Chain A
Amino acid sequence: MSRYAAMFHRLGGEGAFGAFLMLGDPDPETSAELLEAVIEGGADMIEVGIPFSDPVADGPVIQAAAQRALAAGVRVGDCLELIAALRARHSHMPIGILTYANIVVARAGFIREAAEAGADSLLIADVPSLEAEPFVREMEQAGIEPVLIAAPNTPEVALKRIASLSKAYTYCVSRAGITGTHASGQFDAALVERVIEAGGPPPVFGFGISRPEHVRAALSAGAQGVICGSAIVDLASRQGDVGSFVQSLKAVTRNDSVAE
């Protein structure tokens, strides 16, 4: 059983809380401390960004985080080392990479190296399902699970493709936009249903999760988890207590049953 599958199994009806951090932001040492802090705060799964110079799917907060890491001289190799160290400290924690296509294709063997470092999944923000097959094939060979994004405007034929190509979880976005887009607080229950009907892996909502009521709304829309990124990264950039913040959002998943 993969680490994601084991995590969803362990949580039973409880929603999974995913915490996102940009690797190397603001420097590798602080980045490693922040990863520990969100795990201590109760994160069930960790999503890590590998910084890219031109992140078109990201809002200002994540863009700034990538810029800080790159300005600090962080290289892809440093990010893989951070993942390997995280894996060594936490053998059961699901770890997913979120990055961009050019990072994946520039370094021959990136997907294999990511798997060897201990990453469980890989989401490439600018590879839609239409272009995903060659990447997915390589991920399967390397033993890393592909994650694709599903959105309310995704047509049925693409949704079926996403459901069959995705393995760890299905990254659902509730509305159009980029990361950190101000949440309307509305999460699309119909999308969750469509993903489940298409046979996709557990639907998890991302983009715009920053407050307890967002977590509650996403889980009541039927999602099996949430991913919080910009709010954590923003707090970290202001030296805030990310551990307590994660704890406050994770608490919501314990109180609200996912079962409808």
Chain B
Amino acid sequence: MRLNGRFGRFGGCFVPEILVPALEQLEAAFLDAQGDGGFVSELNSLLANYAGRPTPLTKCRNLPGNIYLKREDLLHGGAHKTNQVLGQGLLAKRMGKARLIAETGAGQHGVATAIVGALLGFETLVYMGAEDVERQQLNVFRMQLMGAEVVPVESGGRTLKDAINEALRDWSSSFENTHYLLGTAAGPHPFPTMVREFQRVIGREARAQIIDQLGRLPDAVVACVGGGSNAIGLFADFIEDQVVQLIGVEAAGKGLAGNEHGATLLRGTPGILHGAETYVLQDEDGQVTDTWSVSAGLDYPAVGPEHAHLKDSGRAEYVGASDAEALAAFRALAENEGILCAFESAHALAHALKLAEADADNIILVGLSGRGDKDVAQAQALLA
């Protein structure tokens, strides 16, 4: 490896020996592409003319305080996921791979991978926990419409973490012709670094836009954290701005006192899962525990290793928002601003509303990572 793949004590490359050459190939392709004008301009052209970048920065007109929304919900595909699947898709082409595999929870990353598979001409296979396949039929059909095969995973708890396990197993025998298009800034090196770099565009645009609109930096930047890709993408260009508070919001689910949440950084302990040393929700033996969140995208027992480091170094702060708080924020955004956001993003907004209440002068930048269409049926069941 050319980079050390560490964020403080976290990160690394904890995979079976057989996968190390595939990750070395990926790191080399990624680093070479960064310096290749042709690659960079093709990616930028796709981001602008296919995906719809730059996305707007919207000041909330009716919600209290000064809340600015970075509108990744308006990106093609309906979430920030599209930014990085385009990057990884072009890298897979560059490496000569013919097949993409991916994991998905609720289906957002699966849909994004199906999009890039159709666009760039890959055979695409998406692993999805059997439990999630049953709950997210619409996204399953979306993926199939774009030509992807969706494979229900029956092992373990039949959700996202099991889908990642299965994708890693597939990749162990298929890496020669297959790229594993991991969906978040987690997993073994180089994924956390590479996905951050492909998502960095969110924060780069938002920083320029808020300076343009206000002539100053925000007081706080708030994003939800499951695996952590939208948060790290939004944070990355603000890390050097010490005056800006960085706040990641985890799923507090049914409450942090019990076990039904996805608050890895708040309630987990350091461990090694899915290729990286990071915080993990686990028992004393190191068995990974089941998680819960109303939003499938935050329902994950590990977290990107850079967030683990930002927490321990104190540069970022991590808090929780419960299912109920997220649903209230989802509803408030719909009623006051006419925007249906993803349940994941509603966690970030829920915390922003608390900050706005505490200090109405606070300038708060919120990563609105995705739109809420996928959650409308669930919202109807929960709120109607």
Contacts and interface: CB of A to CB of B under 8 A. Distances in A.
Interface of A: 52-60, 63, 67, 70, 75-76, 100-107, 125-131, 148-151, 153-155, 158, 162, 173, 175-178, 181
B112 to A, nearest CB: 23
* A contact patch SS: loop
Contacts of A130: 1, 13, 20
Given A59-B169, A131-B12, A176-B173, A103 B17 contact: no
A101 B313 CA distance: 24
B286 A105 contact: yes
Interface of B: 1, 12-21, 24, 155-156, 161-162, 165, 168-169, 172-176, 269-275, 277, 280, 282, 284-288
Contacts, number: 116
Contacts of A173: 18
Contacts of A54: 156, 161-162, 165, 273-274, 288
Given A102-B272, A176-B173, A56 B16 contact: yes
B22 to A, nearest CB: 8
A124 to B, nearest CB: 9
B288 A53 contact: yes
22 contacts: A53-B156, A56-B172, A57-B169, A59-B169, A67-B156, A100-B272, A101-B14, A102-B282, A102-B286, A106-B282, A106-B286, A126-B14, A126-B272, A128-B14, A128-B17, A149-B18, A153-B21, A154-B17, A158-B17, A177-B18, A178-B172, A181-B173
B165 A106 contact: no
Q: Which 3 A-B residue pairs are closest in the complex by CB-CB distance?
A: A106-B286, A177-B173, A101-B272
A110 to B, nearest CB: 9
Nearest to A173: B18
Contacts of B275: 126
Nearest to B288: A53
Nearest to B289: A53
Contacts of B274: 54, 56
Contacts of B21: 153-155
A65 B119 CA distance: 41
Contacts of B155: 60, 63, 67
A181 B172 CA distance: 11
Contacts of B272: 100-102, 105, 126
B172 A176 contact: yes
A60 B271 CA distance: 24
B15 A126 contact: yes
Contacts of B287: 52-53, 70
Nearest to A151: B18
B175 A56 contact: no
Given A53-B156, A128-B15, A103 B173 contact: no
B284 A107 contact: yes
Contact of A177 (B15, B24, B172, B286): B172
Given A54-B156, A130-B1, A177-B173, A106 B13 contact: no
